[in-house]
Amino acid sequence: MRLHRYLAHAGVASRRKSEEIILAGQVTVNGVPVIELGTKVGPDDVVAVDGEVVRPAGHVYLLMNKPAGYVTTLSDERGRRTVMHLIPDVGAPVKPVGRLDMDTAGLLLLTNDGDLAARLSHAKYGVEKEYLATVLGQPDEHGMDRLRRGIFIEGQKTAPAEAHLVAPLNSAGTSLVSLVIHEGRKRQVRLMLAAVGCPVVKLVRTRIAHLVQKGMKPGECRTLHMKDVQRLRALVGLER
């Protein structure tokens, strides 16, 4: 197996990122630094990245219903609870795919399939992510239209989105808005809704592609069915 593929299988990074890691001189095979991209390795070779031995594990795919109050990182220097505290020991180095803000709840994928993770997070593949936002006030038709057409955030326009009002303004002064976006920019949904004058007070991701949150308790984590994995991989142009 080629070295970059081996690294991707070991959950180090996507194949492309693994190539960069090799070129950066971070990889050794049997103790010898290797920077040739075509290098082949077999089961008896010992491959290390930054001195740490890595091995290809079978791919593991977890779907979590993340509760609010957890950060989406592997560890947190400020000692906050991370999503890694919620996953079972799967014997493989799974990582969150993209991120949810600490205050955001809902669906989060974790995997050691580096190629799938990279494509699911890349705007180019336009994978749908659906959010249900409780907002202060209620966006008017003009605001809804702006959400759909795209809004400038930090100088860059968001891609067209689907937006609709799920519940109108209630006596507490909030309404419920559903947004389907195809990118994953930092705090994107909060920034989009704030831009139309309706700051988010609660945010839940209810869907990633065809995967829905329905029936999962907060903090629950389950292994994806193979047919779901195949559907996700096919969606982003990876072989089954």
User: Would you give the distance in Å from CA 171 to the centre of its chain?
Assistant: 35
Q: Which is nearer to ligand URA, 86 or 100 (CB)?
A: 100
Contact in structure between 69 and 203 (CB atoms under 8 Å): no
Q: Which is nearer to ligand URA, 4 or 190 (CB)?
A: 190
Q: Which is nearer to ligand URA, 189 or 224 (CB)?
A: 189
Q: How many CB atoms lie within 10 A of CB 189?
A: 24
Q: Write each residue from 154 to 193 as x if it is in contact with ligand URA (CB under 6 A), else as -, in one continuous string.
A: ---------------------------------xxxx---
Contact in structure between 166 and 172 (CB atoms under 8 Å): no
Q: Residue 58 to residues 18, 116, 160: CA-CA distances in angstroms?
A: 18, 14, 37
Residues 6+ apart with CB under 8 A from 14: 8, 114, 115, 117, 118, 119
Contact in structure between 196 and 152 (CB atoms under 8 Å): no
Instruction: Let me know if 145 is a catalytic residue.
Output: no
Question: For ligand URA, which residue of 22, 64, 203, 204 counts as binding (CB under 6 A)?
Answer: 203
Between CA 12 and CA 17 the distance in angstroms is 9
Closest among 91, 90, 109, 111 to 100, alpha carbons compared:
109
Q: Which is nearer to ligand URA, 118 or 203 (CB)?
A: 203
Question: For ligand URA, which residue of 12, 13, 22, 100 counts as binding (CB under 6 A)?
Answer: 100
| Residue 128 sits in the site that holds ligand URA (CB under 6 A) | no
Q: Which is nearer to ligand URA, 18 or 104 (CB)?
A: 104
Least Å from the CB of residue 129 to ligand URA:
7
Contact in structure between 116 and 16 (CB atoms under 8 Å): no
Least Å from the CB of residue 206 to ligand URA:
12
| Residue 104 sits in the site that holds ligand URA (CB under 6 A) | yes
Least Å from the CB of residue 174 to ligand URA:
17
Instruction: Tell me which of 45, 101, 103, 228 is the catalytic residue.
Output: 101
Q: Which helix (H) or strand (E) holds 233?
A: helix 226-235
Least Å from the CB of residue 149 to ligand URA:
18
Stretch that binds ligand URA, among 14-22, 31-39, 100-108, 141-149 (CB under 6 A): 100-108
| Contacting residues toward ligand URA, per CB under 6 A | 100-101, 104, 187-190, 203
**Residues involved in catalysis:** 101
